A and B are shown apart, each in its own frame.
Chain A
Amino acid sequence: MNWLWSNLDLVGELTLVHLALSVPAIILSFVISVPIGWLAHRYQWSRGVLLSLCGLLYAIPSLALFVALPPITGLSLRSPLNLVIALTLYGIAVIVRTAADAFDAVAPDVRQSATAVGYSERGRFWGVELPLAGPVLLSGLRVVIVSTVSLVTVGAVIGVPSLGSLFTDGFQRGIEVEIATGIVMTIVLALALDGAAVLLGRMLMPWTRAGEAVRRSSASVSVARRVDA
């Protein structure tokens, strides 16, 4: 435990760095996936293509993706941006499928009613479809939050600092407490961000008790967790 008391600063600093890597990836993947998911829902022909592409992306091991991305993006292997791009791609792979399902779940007659009371195509998306798809979208986002926070640690082996650095450093120096601290902090961070997402969902979707709807749909999502998070 001595290690922990003398390294509180380091842990705090790495937690912030970890946060700075995960949050942009989570937000980016959500913002990019929703329109792609809507496309997959709206145009049947695109569904197979988009969802298979996401499936392929999802199957790529993270360490291999971290190494294979720089030649495409021109970034350095140790660049934090490289990590954020890879994590965003994984996030997209998860949410697009959920988003397509979420938009599918909006009843056709609700959609027709919205058009009948005078919603334009665009107004209907923002005013009807997106809010009704909200709870399922949130469940997808929660899966991405937890798996992204966990995946960030893998970057440590190629030299991108995060809470994962506590694993590699602790392993090399033989300090159990250091590794355990890293594990606990990663889980705490994941749960904290998850909790924040649930609260945000409750604020934005007051008509549904977010926790309930999400818990019901999370059982089906849990099979499809990010493969090596």
Chain B
Amino acid sequence: MNLFLEGIAWILDPANWTGPGSIPIRIAQHLAISAVVLVIAAVIALPLGGVIGHTGRGKNLAVGVSGGLRALPTLGALTLFGLWLGIGLAAPIIALVILAIPPLLAGAYAGFESVDRRTIDAARAMGMREDQIVGKVELPLGMPIVVGGIRSATLQIIATATLAAYIADEGLGRFIFEGLKTRDYAEMLGGSILVIILALVVDGCFAITQRLVVPAGVRAARSTELRSRPARSRAALGQPINEGNRT
């Protein structure tokens, strides 16, 4: 536990708060890299996921890409790109974009697909055009899941940006690798604590956003949902129980 005090003392040490490579600069770098990566990945993945979810076409692609890339080890991608592109930011940014695409794609696709088909049919029957259905029905209703995907991607980017310091001299991960090299455990731990706080703060912001983007109509419907259900979920007699198929 003493080590923790040392780590916190390292964070609070005024010497670490000024000059190049100080804590505020590392935090700013970390956030800047994460933001750039998120924007690039979102521009690629969100429209694609939306189209797949809206049309139902290319579903296998979305599931395949988001599932298949899951097994790809981050560090492997980082080092391979680092070797190809040299020391600098290009390699980590490309590797991070590739890793951020699956959760974004899955979130956008699942969000659009989660909208009840009957709701979409009803919107179409009322005379809405396809772009109106996307903008006014599917997007608002699917938004919590889409934001969930963005949340997951952002966390992944922030976490992996720590690791990116292994090949680029940027971000909070630098403290961990510097401390590792000089056997300065206080610095390593201090850096780790900062990364953890940053991740939790960002995640907390997303948790609030996710709550706020639930459309008011959906929130109202939830409390009255009971009424739309039949009084008895299943006939008491004469219907076989489909064991195991419920999931």
B-contacting residues of A (Cβ < 8 Å)? 55-56, 58-65, 67-68, 70-72, 77, 102, 105-107, 109-110, 113, 131-133, 135-136, 143, 146-147, 149-150, 153-154, 156-159, 163-164, 167-168, 170-171, 174, 176, 179-180, 182-183, 186-187, 190-191, 205, 207-208, 213, 217-220, 222-225, 227-229
Contact = CB atoms under 8 A, between A and B. Distances in A.
A186 B76 contact: yes
A113 B80 CA distance: 57
A132 B159 CA distance: 36
Contact of A150 (B74, B80, B84): B74
B67 A218 contact: yes
29 contacts: A55-B207, A58-B155, A60-B159, A64-B176, A64-B191, A67-B191, A67-B192, A68-B196, A72-B1, A77-B185, A143-B70, A153-B73, A153-B74, A154-B73, A154-B74, A158-B180, A159-B180, A167-B80, A168-B75, A170-B79, A174-B83, A208-B244, A213-B245, A223-B106, A223-B145, A223-B149, A224-B152, A225-B103, A227-B152
Given A71-B1, A110-B241, A225-B103, A63 B71 contact: no
A198 B155 CA distance: 29
Given A56-B200, A179-B83, A183-B80, A150 B70 contact: yes
Interface string B52-86: 00000000000100110011111111111011100
| Most B Cβ at <10 Å: residue of A63, A72, A106, A182 | A63
Nearest to A156: B75
Interface residues of B, number: 65
Interface in B193-247: 193, 195-196, 199-200, 203, 207, 233-234, 241, 243-247
Contacts of A77: 185
A141 B152 CA distance: 19
B112 interface: no
B71 A191 contact: yes
Given A147-B70, A222-B66, A222-B70, A228 B83 contact: no
Contact of A187 (B71, B162, B173, B200): B71
B85 to A, nearest CB: 12
B158 A179 contact: no
B204 to A, nearest CB: 9
Given A153-B73, A153-B75, A225-B103, A102 B247 contact: yes
A59 B107 contact: no
B176 A67 contact: yes
Given A63-B173, A67-B189, A225-B102, A157 B71 contact: no
Contacts of B149: 223
A167 B158 CA distance: 21
A60 B196 contact: yes
Q: List the 4 closest pairs (A to B, CB-CB), nearest first.
A: A61-B159, A228-B159, A71-B3, A64-B192
Contacts of B159: 60-64, 227-228
B195 A61 contact: yes
Contacts of A107: 233, 246
A171 B106 CA distance: 31
B176 A164 contact: no
Contact of A225 (B110, B152, B158, B162): B152
A131 B243 CA distance: 10
A110 B156 CA distance: 39
Interface string B131-152: 0000000000000010011001
Nearest to A155: B75
Contact of A68 (B71, B163, B189): B189
Contacts of B38: none
Given A67-B188, A132-B246, A227-B159, A146 B110 contact: no
A222 B234 contact: no
B66 A157 contact: no
Nearest to A183: B76
Contacts of A143: 70
